[in-house]
Amino acid sequence: MNSGKSIFAQLMDFLPAKAFRQCVRRYQGDYKLKSFSCWDQFLCMAFAQLTYRESLRDIEACLRAQQTKLYHLGIRGQVSRNTLAHANSVRDWRIYADFAQVLITRARALYADDSFGVELAQTAYALDATTIDLCLALFPWAKFRKHKGAVKLHTLLDLRGSIPTVVIVTHGKVHEVNILDQLIFEAGAFYVMDRGYLDFARLYKLHLASAFFVTRARKRFDFQRLYSQPVDRTTGVICDQIVTLVNPVPRKGYPEKLRRIRYFDAEKNQRLVFLTNNFTLPPLMIAQLYRSRWQVELFFKWIKQHLRIKKFYGTSENALKTQIWIAISIYVLVAIVKKELHIEGSLYTILQILSITLFEKTLISQALSLTQREMQLTTSGKQLILFD
């Protein structure tokens, strides 16, 4: 039963409070604190993400307008702009990074049986990075160009459910390929990457870990064909070859055989060349796997458009990482709620509904059960007729 709880409080009930307290103790987040705990900080930042607040002053004004309801929302400390700014600046961002990993583990279990468009028994990941531009005057520690600051968000996305499993925030100057050195590869899993990750020595380490990669070859790619396998050209596959590298440096980095697949994408009128260390999957499935890599691009686009991740409430590195990790936690939380409550609407629809109903005291399942089609019909029915 609802028992008079607001939708915000019901939403926060999906969070494992015990796991959060463990993360706080791990980094002594509440050490010598008398008020405004790490939990208070998380709830305020979660409210800011769900309602897309513009600034700390905006957060303070909105929450103080609901002062009598804050206790029932779970916020025990006094909300003020300076207190929240100080908390974001000094409290270890790893508290929220570790808590996000708890939520990610839970979400992955919920979406483990979902399909992502390719009939594949193994786990498939898409690896990519996006650049978040920063004002160099406000973020001097993040100098990227002469007059520009930036950080990079490197993400390993589980294609089942589009759940980010590994998120690494680095300086803007860090090249994407270096992230391969920080990953622990899962045996039997597929890692789908674009040409920016084409480093044969690093890919060979992935191969030695009994994992598989799918990537694109560069335009100037020297190889020696050992033999070709029969293909069905009606599927778009032009050739399926087993090759070895020719140039001494890349051959030293990857001394074993590779599979080279040429594919014609009729929709985009484009010829693509894929490289992989998997020799058993049909060539068309390799092409479909690479096409599914687009999900990570959609993930970046989604969080940038619908969460507060391009503009920041603080200018320190700790504050920036804290805000990013709490934003990711909210994304995963919405995905968990969608699955556990069997909501048909998209994540965008759920977030839109939450943004205007957080303080209402109705069942969250009832509030979110409105499908996208019903929302369109309801909205269109309230529009004035301007022309007959």
What are 237-267's pLDDT values in tens digits? 999 999 999 999 999 999 999 999 999 988 8
Helices and strands: H and E segment counts in the chain: 15, 10
Alpha helices in the chain (DSSP H): 7-12, 17-26, 38-51, 56-64, 70-73, 81-90, 94-110, 200-208, 248-253, 283-291, 294-306, 317-340, 347-357, 364-368, 372-381
What's the Rg (C-alpha) of the chain? 24
pLDDT at 372 over 50: no
pLDDT at 334 over 80: yes
Dist CA 136 CA 165 (whole Å): 30
Decide: 253 and 201 in contact? Cβ < 8 Å: yes
Backbone φ, ψ for residue 55 (5° rounding): -155, 175
pLDDT at 24 over 60: yes
pLDDT at 382 over 70: no
Task: Using alpha carbons, select from 297, 294, 322 the residue that is nearest to residue 309.
Answer: 322
User: Does residue 27 sit in the same domain as residue 84?
Assistant: yes
CA angle 282, 230, 275 (to 5 degrees): 50
- Residue 154 is inside which H or E element, if any? strand 148-158
- CA atoms within 13 A of residue 207's CA, in its CB half-sphere: 19
Number of structural domains, the chain? 2
* Residue 333 within a domain: yes
Domain range enclosing 82: 7-96+315-380
> pLDDT digit string (tens) for 56-91?
999 999 988 888 888 888 888 788 899 999 999 999
Please report the sign of the dihedral spanned by the C-alpha atoms of residue 181, residue 182, residue 185, residue 189: negative
* Residue 343 within a domain: yes
Q: Is the pTM of this model over 0.85?
A: yes
What local confidence, expressed as pLDDT, does residue 370 receive? Answer: 62
User: Does residue 13 sit in the same domain as residue 68?
Assistant: yes
CA angle 313, 44, 316 (to 5 degrees): 25
Contacts of 376 (CB under 8 A, 6+ apart): none
Task: Using alpha carbons, select from 192, 338, 356, 345 the residue that is nearest to residue 274.
Answer: 192
* Residue 53 within a domain: yes
User: Does residue 259 sit in the same domain as residue 323?
Assistant: no
Q: What percent of the chain has pLDDT over 90?
A: 72
Task: Using alpha carbons, select from 11, 68, 66, 69 the residue that is nearest to residue 42.
Answer: 11
Least confident residue range of 45-49, 107-111, 203-207, 364-368: 364-368
What local confidence, expressed as pLDDT, does residue 106 receive? Answer: 96
> pLDDT digit string (tens) for 143-198?
998 889 999 999 999 999 999 999 999 999 999 999 999 999 999 999 999 999 99
* Residue 118 within a domain: no
- Mean pLDDT of all residues in 343-362: 89
Kindly report the CATH number assigned to the domain that includes residue 242: 2.20.25
For residues 323, 329, 330, 335, the Cα torsion angle rounded to the nearest 10 degrees is 150
Dist CA 309 CA 127 (whole Å): 19
* Residue 102 within a domain: no
In the block, tokens 């650049």 appear at 131
What local confidence, expressed as pLDDT, does residue 377 receive? Answer: 43
pLDDT at 368 over 70: yes
What local confidence, expressed as pLDDT, does residue 273 receive? Answer: 94
Phi-psi region of 75 (alpha: psi -120 to 50; beta: other; left: phi over 0): beta
Contacts of 25 (CB under 8 A, 6+ apart): none
Estimate to the nearest angstrom the gap between the alpha carbon of 138 and the chain centroid. 25
* Residue 274 within a domain: yes
What local confidence, expressed as pLDDT, does residue 221 receive? Answer: 85
Q: How far is CA 137 from CA 149, 150, 189, 315, 316, in A?
A: 8, 12, 43, 10, 12
138 C-beta neighbours (distance < 10 Å), count: 11
Mean pLDDT value across the chain: 90
pLDDT at 388 over 50: no
Contacts 24+ apart (CB under 8 A), 199-208: 199/253, 200/245, 200/250, 200/253, 200/254, 201/252, 201/253, 201/254, 202/177, 202/253, 203/253, 203/254, 203/277, 204/253, 204/254, 204/255, 204/256, 205/180, 206/180, 206/277, 207/254, 207/256, 207/277
Phi-psi region of 162 (alpha: psi -120 to 50; beta: other; left: phi over 0): left
What local confidence, expressed as pLDDT, does residue 125 receive? Answer: 96
pLDDT at 30 over 80: yes
Could you tell me the two tokens for 24?
């706080």
> pLDDT digit string (tens) for 89-146?
999 999 999 999 999 999 999 999 998 889 899 999 999 999 999 999 999 999 998 8
User: Does residue 89 sit in the same domain as residue 17?
Assistant: yes
* Residue 141 within a domain: no
User: Does residue 18 sit in the same domain as residue 88?
Assistant: yes
* Residue 217 within a domain: yes
What local confidence, expressed as pLDDT, does residue 267 receive? Answer: 86
- Burial class of residue 17 (count of CB atoms within 10 Å of its CB; 0-12, 13-18, 19+): exposed
